[in-house]
Structure 1
């Protein structure tokens, strides 16, 4: 376990500023984090507990080089051991190091990701004293639940087309521990039953197809459960711990498609977010 180094910022007279982009899976946190970084000379710190691992880029929905648009990302794919436990303390230690490194370059730290237990530990732990050292701006990217649940299903279908099966197959090990490391990612345990029968030449192809279809539906169902859990934790941070969250509604974006969705993002989501962050930084 790493010991968090509080650094020299405790003695500073003016607090440095840190932006948090929060939200459930599939709300557009990564896109908004990158948009804000390009506008405000920032760098992104990943706070997704599965994206810290190397590999499974499709199933964990890591940003691609093209999507990052040249914005540096920290804590993304930094753990090579697929079974290593990356704890909340590990996150806090690495996140603080990244914050100070970004500030040293005169840039703005933007923490983005869906692992709210990581964020709560970082901000609320009395041994870290985060709020005494940094001013925080919390942006909550949110959408109506029916729209978000529908988007989850569509996104997983896109992942399958993009090669999700091949990606998970490469890491498949019969009897693997799905409670450790990167194998905790939704999609890995659900596909085990399919991979176990996939190469059985004596098996019925229709049965195999049915097992695969059920596994994909299970991935969708478990991802929707994750969304519900994430939202519950965000409401707790807001209502019980008093976090001042700026809710940005992306529902209208995901009710559209193509160019119309892009326009809705620019005119509604991004415009409002730029106003919030601009006011915070100034």
Structure 2
């Protein structure tokens, strides 16, 4: 079970009770937006739920494959049960065959963020597609930055530990029915360059699905093992690319990104100590920028 799919536990030490954010007024203040970043599998969805159950919030997905309808297992979408009733935008909403671009994402995400913030709620943008996030935040006209104050949180983990986790996660996805899920959309004439068929797990299974009806059992076993091995390798490669992009945003473009090291959670995965490790992830209160960002959101709900 992935970190973001474990039982929810609160992270923030915030007084209990319904909170309300004054993110619309006073008028001279910018609206607040939290942007959660990180490589695939690091626990972004879980942290988004931890925040969304502390603040009145709604979540905007920025994963370029999870925007499409279908392939819930293959794209590792957070399930309805795991959302705890928190509204999620741009999650499974787009036609799976659409050529959905960064420009399309910016348009839809901007509308969702404006809708959430104007209702006095906290927009939480979460996903691993950093090119989408960069296009949204650093738009040509500087509109986003002029309108919103962003808090960037980066959930990170040691690459060696993360690689091991990602490989085990693929095995779990296979056991949940990933191959059958991909088989349902298989088309020998499909275009793997657009839509949901770009998802890791779909192109890799192409050769197996083409040949399974004409192969003997031994050959089928070989083909499926090769496909699963390729899925694992491509997930690890994706994680490295995502980390490179985050480091570029932080070190080259100067984004003020707060790193949260989740390595201990992965190392203790599978026992109760993992929950304790997750609970200790929240950055030290000595980080004044981060602390002040969230403190201004804590105001009693007005009846």
Per the normalisation by structure 2, the TM-score is 0.85
- Give the aligned partner of residue 245 of structure 1: 257
Confirm whether residue 226 of structure 1 aligns to residue 238 of structure 2.
yes
- Give the aligned partner of residue 183 of structure 1: 197
- Give the aligned partner of residue 261 of structure 1: 274
Deviating above 4 A after TM superposition, structure 1's stretches of 4 or more consecutive aligned residues are 270-273, 275-278
- Give the aligned partner of residue 214 of structure 1: 226
Per the normalisation by structure 1, the TM-score is 0.91
Equivalent residues in 2 for 1:42-191, closer than 5 Å: 42-80=57-95, 82-191=96-205
**Consecutive unaligned residues in structure 2, runs of 5 or more:** 1-23, 297-303
Instruction: Check conservation: 1:116, 1:233, Cα contact below 8 A.
Output: yes
**Consecutive unaligned residues in structure 1, runs of 5 or more:** 1-8
Deviation at 1:278, TM superposition (A): 4.9
- Give the aligned partner of residue 5 of structure 1: none
Instruction: Tell me how large the CA RMSD over aligned residues is.
Output: 1.8
Distance verdict in 2 for CA 1:272–1:172, change over 3 Å: farther
Deviation at 1:204, TM superposition (A): 2.0
- Give the aligned partner of residue 30 of structure 1: 45
Q: Distance in 1 between matches of 2:257 and 2:57?
A: 20
Deviation at 1:14, TM superposition (A): 1.3
Instruction: Check conservation: 1:53, 1:182, Cα contact below 8 A.
Output: yes
Q: Deviations over 1:49-86 (max 9, x none)?
A: 11000000001010001211111100001112x22111
More helix by share: 1
Distance verdict in 2 for CA 1:270–1:234, change over 3 Å: same
Instruction: Check conservation: 2:52, 2:58, Cα contact below 8 A.
Output: yes
Aligned residues: 268
